[in-house]
Structure 1
Amino acid sequence: MKIVHIISGLGVGGAETTLLSLVRHTQNTDVIHTVICLSALAPLASDFIDAGAKVRILGMHHSRPNPGAFVRLTKWILEEEPSAVQTWMYHADLIGGIATKIANVIKRIRRTHPLPKLVWGIHRSEVPTRHSAITRYTARLCSILSRYIPDQIVCCAEAARLSHIQFGYDSEKMTVIHNGFDTAKFSPNPEMRLAMLTACHLPNDSLLIGIVGRFNPAKDYDNFLRAAAIAATRLPHARFLMVGKDVDNSNHTLCERIEELGLTDKVTLLGPRRDVVQLMPAFDFLCLSSRTEGFPTVVGEAMASGTPCVATNVGDTALLVGETGIIVPPADSTALGLALEKMGLATYEKRAEYSMHARRRIIENFSIRSCWDRYFRIYSENKSRIR
C-alpha cells in the first residue's frame, strides 16, 4: 500500500510526531509513505527520511496564494499513484483535499484507476476561533467542504469530533483515532534522571518537574508559572524544567514573568530539544498546563516513559491519564499548584505506583500499533462502505 501524507509543515508538534511514529512503525513493511510538506518549514524531514519515508517539500507560504505550487502538488499526487491520501490539519485538509480531487478528475479523464481514498485529519480539540484570520477562514471553509471533498475525517480526540461537528463539519464522515505512542522508544530509563541533574548542575535531591511545549497561549505557561510559585512554597527542592520552542533565555517576556514570581533560581529554560526520548524519563513527573489540547502527545510520551502527569482537563487528556495521575480544571493556577504539591509530596512508593500504572495504560490502550491498525482499516475500506 502506498500512502501520500500532506501536512502543513514538519516542525516539532503533536500531529507531526504522530505521523513520524506511524511511519517508523511501518518501516520495513509493504507500506510506502510519501510525505509532502506544504511549507518550507521542515526540521523533521531528515527524521522522516531515516524512517523510510519519501519527503517532498513544496515550499508554499501560508499567507500568499501560489498557483504554481498548487499545480505542482496536484502533479505530485498523480505521480505517486497512492492508495490513500491522508491530510494533516486545516491548511493541508483544504489545499491537499482540493488538489487530490482535481487529481482524481484527471485520472477519470485518463481512465486510470483506482482513485485514492482521501482522509482529512483534525488535530485540535477546539475550532480556531481565536487564531489568525487565515486559519479561521480555512477551518470555516473546510467545514463547508467537508460534505463534498473528503471520504472520511479522522479526529485525534472525541472532544475534537464534537466541537467540529458543532462548527459545521459532516458528522457522518467523522471518526476518532487517538494518537498512538511508541512504547519501545519511550520507556523508563533511571539513568536519564542523573544525566539531567548533572547537565543542569542541580543537587541530587532535586524534585524534577518538567513541562514540554512551544511558547504559545494555548500552552498557558503563565498558568504553569503561577502554579509553580504556589507549589514551590511547600516543595523547596522542586526544580521546574521547561522545554520547547522559544522557551529559552532569549524570551524576555517569559524571563520577566519568572523573575516577577520569584522563580529565577527554581526554573531552568532548556529551549527546543530533539532528545525528548531522553528527557521524559528524567522527570519525576510532567505538568501539562494547557488551556486547549486535542490528545496531548507529550502526556502520552511521558506516561510511556513511566513518568506520571499532572494535567489540565482539556480535550481527551483525562481519558488518556485515567487514574494514573492528577487532573485539574484549565486556567486554575491554584488547583494546578496544589496538584503539583500533592504529587511532589507523594511518597517514592506512591509515585512509583503512578509510574507503573501510567506505562501499563499506554501499552494496553494507546500503543502506536493499535493506532496504525485503525488508520490501516480506514485506508483499506472500500469507498462505497464509507458513510
Structure 2
Amino acid sequence: MAAIASSAHACQPPLVVHLIYRLDIGGLETLLVDAINRMPAERYRHAVVCLTDYTEFAARITRPGVELFALHKLPGAAPRTHLDLWYLLRRLRPAILHTYNLGTIEYATTALLAGVPVRVHAEHGRDAGDPQGLNRKHNLLRRLVAPCIDRIVPVSRDLHAWLRDAVGIAERRLCLIDNGVDTERFRPALPGESGAEAWHDDPHAFVIGSVGRLQDVKDQATLVDAFALLCRMLPQEPLRLVLVGDGPLRASLAAQVAANGLQDRVWLAGARADVAPVMRGFSLFALSSIAEGTPVTLLEAMASGLPVVSTAVGGIPDLVADGANGALVPPSNPQALAQALAAYVRDRALAQAHGAAGRARVERQYSMQAMLEAYLALYDGLLHSKNKVNEAITPCAE
C-alpha cells in the first residue's frame, strides 16, 4: 500500500474517500480529479483509494493534502483486499465512502462494517460485454449491496431508468446527477487560433476527431471503417481522422488503417494531456461507442463548439439532439456513421451552427459548477440525515 501528500490540521472538514478501480486516463477519472480539485476546501477533504494501482495521471490532482492509496488487488475475489480496505477506513475514519462503477460496489459492505457513516455509489456506464446491463449475476450483486448504500448516483437518465427498472433499485435510493465539464478550459477556438499538429497539414482539411481509450466498448474500429467509406464517398475532400487515446486495440487499429491505405489520413495520436487545445483543432467530434453513460469527452467536445456525430447509446441522446447540435446513428453501423459525417463535410455552415448549439446546451445544463453543487448537496444532506458528522471529524482543539 502506498500513500502520498498527507495533511494534518487541528480542525478538519469531513473526509470523503473515493474508491476507484484504477486511477488512469479516462472520462470518469477526469471527472473525479476535477471534482476534487474544484470542490471548496472548507467543505470536504478528499482521499483516493485505488483497488489496483494508479499512474502518472494522479499528478493531475493539484489540491493540497489529498492522500492517494493503492491496494494492489489481485484478479478474482481477492478477500484480502476487503481486509486491507477495512483497516484503511478504520485508520482514515472518513465521513463518506464514494465508490464508482461495478468493480467497486461490493466494498460498500466493507465500509459499513468499518463504521463509515455514509456510503455513496455512482454508476457512470455499462461494460462492453454487457452493453444493455442485463447480466443477472452483476445485477444480483447490485441488488444485494444496495441496502448498504445510502444513495446510488446514475449520471444519465438512461442509467437511472435501467437501475430502477432492470436492476430493481428502489427509486428512493437513486439520485440523478448530470456530469459536468469545465467550460473555461474547453471552449471554441478563437479567430485565427489554429492547431500545429501533424494532421493540420492542409488548412482546408476537415478533421474528424475522437477521444477515448482504444478498447472494445469505444468501438473505434467502426469509426475507421466509416472513415474509409467517407473517403470513397468524397474523394476530392481533404479528410483527416484523429484518434486520441491509447489501449489494447492500438495495434489492431493501426493494422486496420494500413489495410485501408489510410496511413496519410489517419493519426493514432496516443494519450494526450492537452486534450482541450487538441479538440480546438477538430472540425467535428465522432463517437462510435457501443455502450456509454454520459461520456465526459462528448461534453468536452460540445463545450469546444464542435458538432457531434455519435452512436445513440446510453445517455448520449440526452446530450445530442439529432439535427440540432449533432447527429445520432445506430451502433456498429459504419454506413450510417459515414453518411452522417458526410452531411457535415458537405455543409461546413451546418457544422458551425450545430457546434454553437452544443456549446449553448452545455453552458445551460452540464457545467462543472452545477455538478459540484449537486454533489455537495447530496453529501450535506446525507450527513445531516445520519446526524453523525461529529463522529467523522477530528474535534477542534480548545
Equivalent residues in 2 for 1:299-338 (5 A)?
299-322=298-321, 323-338=324-339
Aligned-residue CA RMSD (Å): 2.7
- The residue aligned with 1:13 is 26
Distance 1:86 1:196, change over 3 A: same
Equivalent residues in 2 for 1:51-90 (5 A)?
51-52=63-64, 54-90=66-102
- The residue aligned with 1:276 is 275
Query: Which residue identity is paired with 2:299?
Result: G
- The residue aligned with 2:360 is 360
- The residue aligned with 1:210 is 209
For structure 1, which runs of at least 5 residues remain unmatched after alignment? 105-114
Deviations 1:82-108 (A, max 9, x none): 33211111122212x12211111xxxx
Q: State the shift of 1:228 in Å.
A: 0.6
CA distance in 2 between counterparts of 1:201 and 1:330 reads 29
CA distance in 2 between counterparts of 1:74 and 1:192 reads 55
CA distance in 1 between counterparts of 2:221 and 2:188 reads 29
CA distance in 2 between counterparts of 1:327 and 1:377 reads 33
Distance 1:298 1:82, change over 3 A: same
CA distance in 2 between counterparts of 1:94 and 1:308 reads 39
Q: State the shift of 1:200 in Å.
A: 3.9
CA distance in 2 between counterparts of 1:168 and 1:360 reads 34
- TM (normalized to structure 2)? 0.84
CA distance in 1 between counterparts of 2:79 and 2:259 reads 49
- The residue aligned with 2:114 is 103
- The residue aligned with 1:255 is 254
SS at match of 1:148: helix
Contact 1:45–1:55 (Cα < 8 Å) also in 2: no
CA distance in 1 between counterparts of 2:200 and 2:283 reads 16
Equivalent residues in 2 for 1:1-387 (5 A)?
1-48=14-61, 50-52=62-64, 54-95=66-107, 97-104=108-115, 116-125=117-126, 128-129=129-130, 139-172=138-171, 173-190=173-190, 194-197=194-197, 199-200=198-199, 202-232=201-231, 233-234=233-234, 236-246=237-247, 251-322=250-321, 323-347=324-348, 349-382=349-382
Distance 1:366 1:274, change over 3 A: same
Deviations 1:38-79 (A, max 9, x none): 11133321112x134613223323514545443332232233
CA distance in 2 between counterparts of 1:267 and 1:54 reads 40
CA distance in 1 between counterparts of 2:140 and 2:304 reads 39
Contact 2:209–2:284 (Cα < 8 Å) also in 1: yes
CA distance in 1 between counterparts of 2:248 and 2:278 reads 15
Deviations 1:335-379 (A, max 9, x none): 1101111111113x3332222221111011111111112212221
- The residue aligned with 2:9 is none
CA distance in 2 between counterparts of 1:54 and 1:89 reads 22
SS at match of 2:24: coil
Distance 1:16 1:62, change over 3 A: farther
Query: Which residue identity is paired with 2:90?
Result: L
User: What is the number of equivalent residue pairs in this alignment?
Assistant: 367
Query: Which residue identity is paired with 2:60?
Result: D
SS at match of 1:239: strand
For structure 2, which runs of at least 5 residues remain unmatched after alignment? 1-13, 387-398
Deviations 1:109-131 (A, max 9, x none): xxxxxx52111111114695389
